[in-house]
Structure 1
Amino acid sequence: MPLWAPAGGGWAARAAQTGLSWGVTAGLFLHGTDLQRQIEQGDLLQPFLFISLVLCSVILYFVVSLMNPGYVEDNEDEKGPPDGDQKATLFPQVPNVRLRRCGYCMVKQPLRAKHCQACQHCVHRFDHHCPWIENCIGERNHPLFVLYLGVQLGVLLWALQVAWSGLNFQQFSWAWLQRNLVLLLSFLLIIVCTVVAMLLLASHLYLVSCNTTTWEFMSRHRISYLKHCKVENPFDQGVFVNLWRFFCACRLMAWEKLYPTEESDLV
C-alpha cells in the first residue's frame, strides 16, 4: 500500500491553511507584542521556539493531508501475512464473518471500513472526511491527525497570549483601532480557531479512548455490525489498551478478531 495518497484537488484549502498560519505569525511579529519586544532586546529563544512550533504544525498538516489514510486495495483479501506473521493478516480466517463488497468500488471491505464519496476509495477504520485537511481520516493517518490537533492547539494558545500582549484596550480610540486592526482581527480569529481545535481534540481523544470512530459514534443505528451487536462497543478493550493500539500499533489491525463470534454472521 503506497504511503502517500494522490494529491488531487484540495490545494485551495492547503494554501489557505499555510497562508493563515504564516500570515497570523507575521502579524504577531510586526506589532508591539511580546515576541517583537523580545527580538528588539536580542532575546531570540522564544521567537525561535514559536516559529519552530508553527513550522511543526504546518508540516504535520501537510503530512496528514497528503498521506494515504488507509485505502483498501483490490487484492488485500488475496494477500498472505507478511513474513509468516499471522497477526498481520488483513483478512483473518474468523468463522462465519461475512465481509461485504463495496457497492461503489467493488473491493471487499474489512470490518470498520467505509467508502468515502469524496475520495472515491474505501478506507480502513474510516473516521471522517475532513474538508479542511482535504483528505480522509482513517487508520493510517488518524494518530497523526490527533497529534496535529494537539500541536495546533499549543500554537493557538501561545499565539492567543502573544496577541493579547500587543493589545492595550485602555488606550482605545479610532487611531488605536486603525493601528491595531490587523492584530485585533488576528486575535479574534485565534479565539475561534482555539475553541474549534480544543473541541476537536477533546472529542477525538474521547473516541480514541473508547476505540470508536466519528462515523461509528454518529451512525451506530445504520451500521450493520453495530446495530445488531448485543455488545455496546465490541472493539473496546479498556482505555489503556485502546490508546496503546491507536498510538503505538504500526500496522493495520484485524478488527474481525475482536468481533463477538456469536454476532459474526451479521457482519
Structure 2
Amino acid sequence: MEEPPVSSFGDASQPFPNHTVYPSYSSNVPSTASAVADPAKEVLSPYLPPAELSAALVDASQRGNLERLKQLVEAYDYDVNTPDREDCSLLQWAALNNHVQCIQFLVDRGANVNYTGGELRATPMHWATFMGNLAAVVCLVKNGADATVVNRDGCGTLHFACQRGFSHIVAFLLGKGLDVNLRDQFGMTPLMWSTKVSAVDPARLLINMGADVNLKDRMHGNTALHWAALNTNISVCQLLLKHGADVDALNAEGKTPLAISLTDKRNRYIEDVLRKHRQEKGLEGSWLTRNVARNDDLIKVLFNMIPFVTFIFIGLTMTLAWSVLWKILFIVLYCVGTFYVGKWLNFFRFADRFPLAVYIGCKTCVIATVCFIWIPSIVSFWSITWWLLLLSGLMYTFGRTWLGDPGFISPPKEDKLQAVVELAEKNEFNVVKLCTSCMVVKPLRSKHCSICGKCVDRMDHHCPFTGNCVGKKNHRFFVGYLIFLSLAGVYTIWAGCTYVGMACGLSSQHFLLTIGPSLHGCPWSMYVIIFSLGFTAWVMGMAVMQIHQISVMAMTTNERINQRRYGHFRDEDGTDVNPFNKGFVGNCLEFFECDANVFKRLFSRRGAAYTPLKTSLV
C-alpha cells in the first residue's frame, strides 16, 4: 500500500540543505580566518561579492546576529527576499533557529512571510514547526503568515505540526481558528497524520477539540484507526475506539483495521484491542453473546449486582453446616464461575467502576443487617437516634462526593482557544500552565484526571470508591464522608457485638474466648462484624491521613506524592518550601473557606491576639 509521504526537508534526512556556511566578511580576509573571527567585531567591507554577501547574511540569520544582519542589509540595501544558492530565504533560516528579533527585522524590511523555497517548497512556518519553535511561529502569524499554505507534499503547517508531534504548535494554530478537520492534498486530516506517526498527545488534543475520528482520506480511504493499525500504535487505537471510531470501517481496498492488523501489519496486541472492542459492541461471538453484549443497560445491572450477590453468597455459605474445607471449595467454585461469566459478558469494560460497585453492594448488606437484624434486638431511643444521624450524614456526604462537581475546569471552547493564543503570545506556553489534553489554562494546584478526562481544580485524587475525583468543590464532603463512615463503622461493630452477645448468651469479657461460640451461633453477624472491623480500620486510617494533610501539611494527596515535581514547592535555592502552609488554624480556615475576620473578632473579644493569614499565593 502506497502511503502519503511524510514531509521532510532536502534529502529527507536533514531538516535543511546539508551544508555549513562559513562566509568571508571581507574580501581581503581568507574565508578560513573569518570562520573563527567574531563577525560582530569585524569592519564592514563595501566590496563583498554577491556570493559572499549572501553567505554572510545566511550566517547572521542562522546565528541570530541581529546587529550584523542589520549592517549588511542596510549597507547594501539588500533585498531580503533574495534566495540563497539552495533557494532558501533569510526568513526561513531565522525561523528554523527561532531568532524572533531577526524574523521581525526581516519582516519589517519586506520579507515574504509565505515564501516557499528549498527542495520541499516549504514556508518559514514549516521550518519553524520542524524544530518546534513556537515563538517563531507566533511571530510569523502575527505578521500575516498563512498557516494553510502547503509545501511540496501538500501539507499545511497544522498537518506538519501533527507529523512532528508538537502539541503546543497544534494548540496555537487551532486557537488561531484553523479547522481541526483541515485536509491536505491527499485528504489527510491532522488527526490522521497524528495517528500515522504515532503522536498520541496531538491526537488526544485534536479529538478533544472536536476532530472527526471517522473521516477517510482520499488516496486510500483510510480512517485514523486504519492508520493507527498500520503503524501498530496501541495507545492511539485505544484512544480512537474510546471516542467512537468505527472498528468495521472499510478503506478503498475493502479492509477493516482488524484485517490490516492481521495481514498488512501483523500485530497481536492491536488485534487483541480491536477484537475486544468488537466483543464489547456485540459484533463477535455467538448469537446469544452478541445480543446480550449489545444491551449495555442489562450488562451494567448485572455488573453492579456482582459485589452485592457475592457478599451475600459468602455470608450464607458461612452459615451452612459444612466443614471449613467444603465451604472454601464452594466459594472458590463460585468465584471461578463468576469470572468466566464476566469474561463472557465483557465486564472488563466497566473495570473502573468496580470499586464503587463493591462499596455500594457491601455497604448495602451491612446497613440492611444493622437495620433489620441488630437494631430491633437492641432497640433503645439513643441507639436508633445515633444510627439515624450517622446514616443520614453518611448518605449526604457520600452523595455530594459521588455526584457533585469536584471542580472540573470546563470553559467554553472559544475561551480555551483565546487562552492558548494569549499564553503563546506571552511566551508562557508550557505544560505547567496549559493542559494539552483539555486545552485549558490550569490554575495552580490543579491536575488532569486521566479517568474523568478533565482537569480538576485543586485535585486531591481520584477516588475509585466514590467513582469521582476529589477536588476543591467536594473535598470537604469527602472528608466528612470518611468521618461519618468511620463513626458508622464503629457503631456497626458495637451493635454487632451487642447483638451477638445477646443472641448467644455470652457474658464473658474475654473476646478471644467468645469467638468460637459466636461463629457457631451467629455466623452471619460475625461475618459482617469481621468485615466491618477491617473496613473501618482502613477508612479511619484514610480519614486521619486526610485531616493531617489538610491541617498540618496544607497539601493535597497529589501534592504530597508529587511534591518534588512541582516547582512552587521549592525556593530559588532549591530548598523545600510550602507556600500554602498558613499554620494549623489558617489551613483549616482556608479548607472550609471560612472568613478569618470572624475569628479575629472572636479572639479579640477574649483578649487574645490573632492575625489573619493570607489566603492567596503571592
What is the TM-score with the length of structure 2 in the denominator? 0.33
Counterpart CA distance in 2 for 1:240 and 1:108 is 31
Please, which of 237, 242, 258 is the counterpart of residue 617 of structure 2?
Answer: 258
Aligned length: 226
Q: In percent, how many aligned pairs have the same letter? A: 24
Q: Any idea what the Cα deviations from partners look like across 1:66-121, whole Å, max 9, x if unmatched?
A: 11100113359969xxxxxxxxxxxxxxxx9x861112111001111110101111
1:225 pairs with 2:568: yes
- Going from structure 1 to structure 2, the CA distance change for 1:20 and 1:58 (only over 3 Å counts) comes to farther
**8 Å contact 2:378–2:499 — kept in the other structure?**
no
Greater Rg over alpha carbons, structure? 2
Which residue number corresponds to residue 451 of structure 2? Answer: 118
Equivalent pair of 1:115/1:122 in contact (CA under 8 Å): yes
- Residue by residue over 1:185-241, the C-alpha shift from the partner in whole angstroms, topping out at 9 and shown as x without a partner, is 111111111111111111111111132111111111122332466451011111101
Q: Distance in 1 between matches of 2:438 and 2:450?
A: 10
Aligned-pair RMSD on alpha carbons?
3.3
Residue in structure 2 matched with residue 241 of structure 1 by the alignment: 586
Pairwise CA distance, 1:243: 0.2
- Once the two structures are TM-superposed, the CA of residue 21 in structure 1 deviates from its matched residue by 2.6
Aligned residue for 1:85? none
Once the two structures are superposed, what CA deviation does each residue of 1:26-80 show, in whole Å capped at 9, x if it has no partner? 323555x5x33333xxx3442243134223312321210111100113359969x
Match of 1:163 among 496, 499, 502: 496
Moved more, 128-137 or 14-23: 14-23
Pick from 151, 168, 174 the counterpart of residue 484 of structure 2: 151
Match of 1:180 in 2: 522
Structure 2 residue 383 is matched with structure 1 residue 46? yes
Specify the alignment match of 1:194 in structure 2.
536
**In the alignment, which of 533, 549, 556 is matched to residue 213 of structure 1?**
556
**Structure 2, gaps ≥5 residues long:** 1-349, 417-427, 501-505, 596-613
Partner of 1:56: 393
The letter for the 2-side match of 1:162 is: A
Report the Cα distance in structure 1 between the residues aligned to 2:387 and 2:466, rounded to whole angstroms: 23
129-138 or 224-233: which moved more? 224-233
Give, in whole Å, the separation in 1 of the partners of 2:542 and 2:616. 30
- With 53-62 and 184-193 compared, the bigger mean Cα shift is at 53-62
* Separation of aligned partners in 2, 1:114 and 1:256: 20
Specify every segment of 5 or more residues in structure 1 that has no aligned partner in the other structure, as ranges. 1-8, 80-95, 260-267
Question: What is the rounded CA distance, in whole Å, between the counterparts of 2:524 and 2:591 in structure 1?
Answer: 40
Contact 1:207 1:213 in 2 (8 A): yes
- Offset at residue 12 of structure 1 (A): 5.2
On the 8 A contact 1:64/1:144 being kept in 2, the answer is: yes
- The match for 1:66 among 403, 412, 432 is 403
The DSSP-based 3-state class of the residue aligned with 2:455 is strand
* 2:466 aligned partner: 133
Structure 1 residues 256 and 57, CA, compared in 2 at 3 Å: closer, same or farther? closer
Contact residue 21 and residue 58 of structure 1 kept, 8 A? no
Deviates further, 51-60 or 209-218: 51-60
Query: Equivalent residue for 2:36?
Result: none
Residue 21, structure 1, aligned to residue 354, structure 2 = no
8 Å CA contact 1:102–1:108 kept in 2: the answer is: yes
Letter in 2 for 1:112: R
* Cα offsets for 1:113-139 (capped at 9, x unmatched): 110101111111111111111111111
The answer to whether the 8 Å contact 2:571/2:577 transfers is: no
Distance 1:15 1:58, change over 3 A: farther
For CA contacts below 8 A with separation 6 or more, give which structure has more relative contact order. Answer: 1
DSSP-derived class of the 1:212 partner: coil
